[in-house]
Amino acid sequence: MSESFDADWLELREPFDARARDFDLAFALSAALPARPRLLDLGAGTGSLFRWLAPLLNRPQAWTLVDADVTLIEFAFDTIAMRAVEVGFEVSAPNKRTLLVHTPSGAWRVDGLVRDLADAPDGLPLGKADGVVCSALLDLVSRRWAERVAEGLRLPFYAALNVAGDARFLPPHPSDGAVARGFRRDQRREKGFEGPALGSEAARVAAAAFRAQGFGVTTAPSPWRIGPADTRMLNALAKGHAEAALRWTPRGAGTIRAWSAMRAAQARRGALRAVVGHTDLLALPRH
């Protein structure tokens, strides 16, 4: 079973994701798709990639949100419908598995598919898709998984927000290195995708896998930039780094807990900020 995430965390990170993704790669994906694209969104979570990318595509489109967690897919449908109504779009549901968002640029169809992605691309309806997309997924998967997906696709593949391994909390702290080492080690643990997770190697390994299959690959940086006013995100980020580091450095528990307490205090005072590196990737088949 592949790793899942809490809806509250996915909601918290959505605005930072939206600001970070590289627009040029998204527009290049749009140009490579047909007039009415059909997209498979792998590990779709709460549907945040749909909410960001669908308006950029700006034409009739159909999405299949694929996730192992049925609760997240249901949350995605509710959130997509709510946000659409907030901006003045009409929403209809012809059946329990389909949502239609009626926009001036045409209808956006959203379907859900509950599927564990550990065996991807097996079990995915690739014959009914014009492109495969994902966000914050590739750093969770193994090298074997990435290579198998590259071998099985002959469609545009877009993967946003793959961790780059260079998270920085500012101002610097003497224990930053110890926390970062433990966090990076935790990123590489097995997460249900047939081997150690790629972590910060995700973009490099995926790019090599798709190039080996004849795809043209482009990457672009997409860092989170988290300011002093983003207290809730800073607290969650620092806490997450500390908890991950503690799994691998029990002898340094006192140092890591002191670091976490210091970062929480800085966040409360508005004296903390962070930059978290990510890389977006677009792989296009050569015709």
On whether residue 136 sits in a domain, the answer given is yes
Residue type, 221: P
CB 151 within 8 A of CB 121: no
- Domain count for the chain, please give it: 1
Nearest-Å Rg of the Cα atoms of the chain is 19
For residue 255, is it within any domain?
Answer: no
How does pLDDT run along the chain (287 residues), one tens digit per residue?
455 578 999 999 999 999 999 999 999 999 999 999 999 999 999 999 999 999 999 999 999 999 999 999 999 999 999 999 999 999 999 887 899 999 999 999 999 999 999 999 999 999 999 999 999 999 999 999 999 999 999 999 999 999 998 999 999 999 999 999 999 999 999 999 989 999 999 999 999 999 999 999 999 999 999 999 999 999 999 999 999 999 988 888 999 999 999 999 999 999 999 999 999 999 999 87
Neighbouring C-alpha atoms within 13 Å toward the C-beta of 44: 32
Asked whether residue 149 is assigned to any structural domain, the reply reads yes
Residue corresponding to tokens 């006013």: 229
Question: What is the per-residue pLDDT across 65-111, written as a single tens digit (0 to 9) for each?
Answer: 999 999 999 999 999 999 999 999 999 998 878 999 999 999 999 99
* Integer angstrom CA distances of residue 7 from 30, 45, 132, 133, 155: 28, 8, 22, 20, 29
Q: What is the CATH number of the domain that holds 89?
A: 3.40.50.150
- Residue 249 lies inside a defined structural domain of this protein: no
What pLDDT was estimated at residue 1? 45
In a domain, 87, yes or no: yes
Which residue range forms the structural domain that includes residue 93?
7-165+195-227+277-285
Residue 190 included in any domain = no
Residue 182, domain member (yes or no): no
Alpha carbon distance 38, 23 (integer Å): 20
β partners of residue 113: 66
For residue 3, the model assigns a pLDDT of 58
**pTM recorded for the entire structure:** 0.95
Residue 154 lies in a domain: yes
Chain segment 151-186, per-residue pLDDT in tens: 999 999 999 999 998 999 999 999 999 999 999 999
